[in-house]
Amino acid sequence: MKVVSIEEVINIDKKTIEKIPSILLMEHVASEIFYLLLKRHRKTLYNKTVHIFSSVGGNGGDGLAIARYLIKNGYDTKVYLTGNIDRVNKDTYINFNILKDMNVNVVYLASEEKVFEVTQNIEEGDIAIDSLFGTGGNRALAEKEKLLIDKLNSLNIIRIAIDMPSGLQSKINDYDNINTCFKAHETYTICFAKDIFFLYKTREYIGKLFIIKSIFPKEILDNAEYKALLINHNEKINIERSAFFSKREQGNLAIIAGSSDYVGAAVLSVKAAYRSGVGYIRLYVPKGIEKTIKNIIISQMPEAIIIGVGEENQKYFTESDIAIANDINKSDACIIGSGIGRDISTEVFINSILKQINIPTVVDADALYLMFQNTLEELPENFILTPHIYEFEKLTGINHIEALENPYNALSIFREKTKASIILKDAISFFMKDNQIFINYNPTISMGKAGMGDVLAGFVGSFLARKLDITEAVKLALTIQEKSFEYAAKRFGNDFVQPKDLCFYASKILKRI
């Protein structure tokens, strides 16, 4: 699914209207949103009231058309209008007149006093639909509109935005110090995800994102310029499987992980990789923690091969351990970095061994902190870096807030430094392969806990070892991560999901998809 700029959306709308009447486009959108509302909130629709807030522009017309569908089907719906009636959009005006003919009372929000009156009568649990301003709403909000949105945001209701939350572009443009924006629980965006949905200043206002199918001409959609692609978690990705495969044909994965202070990271990576179907794992750990690692892992995963590296009491990897590169390269893929610590001797080890590994490799955690700039620049295309936003700052020198505010630009700067791919992990993750950016939209409470990155690295490494290409491996790993979390959250609650729970559910998800 394409992620496009606001300017491109406006351009697409203009081209489409030359071929398809705009009123027909509006009707189709209203119909699709009505059925999505039924699917998502049928029980609430039976018991509560839907409040639709529209303006005189095209997005307001969508809201009025949605109101028609709801009222026609017997759902309690109240409709409100704001803006200059003398400047009403022609399609919006048509829907306004149809509602009048249906004897629907459209309440005009003429003053702040009227806003107070209306919002005070909204009951807990009702649904508020924001269809005030869409992609054309790039101006600062008026005081009356700010008040309305602030009041709606303060209520214990279900908030749904049509196309995009009103005021979102003000958050980008800093029109004022208040920067009021409708805070949606769900956003029903038309045809394309918009690039500004995924920025630091705006992402908290989107909620759960749904793409509404359009009837835009195929040639226009195909030729639309896009900044990124949204990862589709329902996409089918095939992994070659056979009853006659040996363990090696199911994938041979090498994992270089662990230190005396971070034993658990190695365990999580191994567990995630096995649960996602890899056939054979060789885990390389410092000799001094080999016994501890074996005591933890062998009872749970006796099939793992654990190899102690270095001197008997060695707690970290050192420059003397570089010789394991020859053995590592016999595997199908590698993970390096989980829990290795930041000892100075490990720094030398990391920057030496990365230049000697020639198989697909996931570089994670402390290995990212220890990596020199010249090492980064020399990494080949079959490497994937998996930094969180602070590790990304260390790698690139780009301030983490600056990177979050414009991730597209930050990733372009990263691309100039190296051929390696990257998963920039955050509430919204960005994956870049070559010059193509993919977005994983999955802002989930507790996904940022310690250990979640080790699990993701295990998933990616497993799929690389099973011969998926980098793009397929990452997309599948992010999908497994999200769906496993959803399963675990149903059982334990969002706040209480642990990284090991994702490992447990990974195999169930893989079986389903």
91-108 per-position pLDDT tens digit:
999 999 999 999 999 999
Cα torsion at 288, 290, 295, 297 (round to 10°)? 140
Closest by Cα among 101, 108, 98, 107 to 77: 107
Q: List residues bridging with 212 in a β-sheet.
A: 190
Instruction: Please report the pLDDT score of residue 470 as a whole number.
Output: 96
pLDDT band of residue 299 (cuts 50, 70, 90) is: confident
Of 296, 297, 402, 380, the closest CA to residue 334 belongs to 380
Check whether 461 is labelled as a binding-site residue: no
Is 339 flagged in the annotation as binding? yes
Structure tokens at 192: 């394309």
Q: Is 495 annotated as a binding residue?
A: no
d(CA 120, CA 126): 12
The radius of gyration computed from the CA coordinates of the chain, to the nearest angstrom, equals 26
Place 198 in a pLDDT band, splitting at 50, 70 and 90: very high
Max distance between CA atoms of the chain, in angstroms, equals 86
58 neighbors 65 (Cβ within 8 angstroms): no
Percent of the chain with pLDDT over 70: 94
Question: Is residue 453 a known part of a binding site?
Answer: yes
The answer to whether the annotation marks 429 as part of a ligand binding site is yes
∠ Cα 335 340 346 (to 5°): 105
pLDDT 10s digits, 373-421: 999 999 999 999 999 999 999 999 999 999 999 999 999 999 999 999 9
CA distances, 504 to each of 119, 250, 334, 421, 480 (Å): 46, 19, 22, 28, 11
Q: Is 433 annotated as a binding residue?
A: no
Q: What pLDDT score was predicted for residue 467?
A: 93
Question: Annotated binding residue at 425?
Answer: yes
The pLDDT tens digits for 148-178 are 999 999 999 999 999 999 998 867 766 455 5
Round to whole Å and give the CA distance between 391 and 404.
13
The domains found in the chain, sorted by start residue, are: 2-227 (3.40.50.10260), 252-512 (3.40.1190.20)
Amino acid at 273: A
| pLDDT score of 242 more than 60 | no
pLDDT in tens, 47-61: 999 999 999 988 999
Mean pLDDT of 258-268: 91
Checking if the pLDDT of 244 tops 50, the result is no
Sign of the alpha-carbon dihedral angle for 270, 271, 273, 279: positive
pLDDT at 372: 95
What pLDDT is attached to residue 312? 92
The response to whether 427 counts as a known ligand-binding position is yes
- Confidence (pLDDT) at 335: 98
- Structure confidence at residue 138 as a pLDDT band (50, 70, 90): low
pTM of the model: 0.91
272 has a pLDDT exceeding 90: yes
* SS3 label, residue 251: coil
Q: How far does Cα 383 stand from its chain's mean position?
A: 22
Tell me the residue type at 104: V
pLDDT given for residue 243 in this prediction: 47
273 annotated as belonging to a binding site for a ligand = no
As a whole number, mean pLDDT of residues 217-243 equals 81
**91 known ligand binder:** no
